[in-house]
Amino acid sequence: MTDRAAILQMESVVVRYGRLTAVDRLSLVVGDGETLGLVGESGCGKTSLAKALVGLTPIDRGRILLDGADTSRGDATKRGWLSQRIQLLFQDPVASLSPRLSVRRLLQEPLRIRHALTPQTWQEVRQLVVDLGLSESLLQLYPHQLSGGQARRVSLVRALAMRPRIIVADEPTAGLDLSVQGELLNLLAQLQRRLGLTYVVVSHNLNVIGRITDRVAVMYLGQIVEVGTTRRIFDRPAHHYTAGLIAANPVLDRARRRKRTVLQGELPSPHDPPPGCRFHTRCPAVQERCRLEEPALRPDAAGHQVACHFPLDGG
């Protein structure tokens, strides 16, 4: 659990696409002003959860509470209410920007829809453009004329124009070279301090997650299998799946390298997840209980949570 006041709470959230359950009875709390990392292999449900948080994907069961308000209720899911509090940065920023609109119109559109486009608000947006290291000459360009880093910053300006309290960033550094990645991460940290933002960062890049997050939640086949502080997760993972992910992450510092734990086999189909512990088909420490009984996500004395019958280091 987080020691900060909760700003975002997920309670037994289920997201389905027909017969496929992408997010299955997931519960998680995000603290006000923290940066939470969400990690796991492709197909584990991270992006589905991210879209559910901002109202782009409906939930089938459970609740998502934002500032205590249930976003599954009709009055809360009105786009105006939600978009003023939480915004999504898409994985592909260029694809999320209409090719028919100039950057100027792209940045004005959300304000116009909310009847909030005034000389003052537009001046604030233009200042954001400058603050994020962009030239105002970019306002005349179209998305295909932007570099990847520029497109990502434009998307960030558009999100911040709504003055949200929470930013959900889906693979924020994907497709960027290392120098641009570093600039963007520094920028996100500066904006968080200045504006009091809360971040939920979805990423495969564990080096990024390790650098910018306060806590990490690990997903596997639609469920959370481990949650803890970033340092604890990276230094002493309790779930065998988490240990495999971290061991497979390239690390230059020899002192930080750990004995390689190879994840065996393929991710099972989310259409037909295994019974018991969903990871038992790939776990190096599997026992009979794992095949029969689904482990609950339980906290230890320090608040670290793990869903495993036989966790590493005694969990």
Under 8 Å CB-to-CB from 156, ≥6 apart: which residues? 89, 132, 187, 191
Per residue in 233-271, pLDDT tens? Answer: 999 999 999 999 999 887 655 555 555 566 777 888 889
Q: Rounded to an integer, what distance in angstroms lies between the CA atom of residue 69 and that of residue 190? A: 28
Q: What is the pLDDT of residue 82?
A: 86
Q: Rounded to an integer, what distance in angstroms lies between the CA atom of residue 285 and that of residue 258? A: 18
Q: What is the pLDDT of residue 261?
A: 63
Q: Rounded to an integer, what distance in angstroms lies between the CA atom of residue 38 and that of residue 182? A: 19
**What is residue 201's DSSP assignment?**
E
Q: What is the pLDDT of residue 4?
A: 86
Q: In the chain, count of helices (H) and strands (E)? A: 10, 12
Residue 136 vs residues 122, 129, 150, 175, 267: alpha-carbon distances, Å: 12, 7, 12, 24, 46
Q: What is the pLDDT of residue 267?
A: 85
Q: What is the pLDDT of residue 77?
A: 45
**What are φ and ψ of residue 277, in 5° steps?**
-70, 125
Q: What is the pLDDT of residue 177?
A: 85
Q: Do residues 161 and 106 touch, judged by C-beta distance below 8 A?
A: no
Strand pairing partners for 66?
8, 69
The residues of the chain scoring below 70 in pLDDT are 1, 73-80, 251-262, 314-315
Residue type at position 127? Q
Q: What is the pLDDT of residue 302?
A: 79
Neighbours of 268 (CB within 10 A): 17
SS3 264: coil
- Residue in this structure with the two tokens 């993972």, named with its chain if needed: 237
Q: Rounded to an integer, what distance in angstroms lies between the CA atom of residue 313 and that of residue 239? A: 9
Q: What is the pLDDT of residue 255?
A: 52
Query: Which parts of 102-253 are beta strand (E)?
Result: 166-170, 198-202, 215-220, 223-229
Strand order from edge to edge, sheet including 298-299: 86-89, 166-170, 198-202, 35-39, 215-220, 223-229, 305-306, 298-299
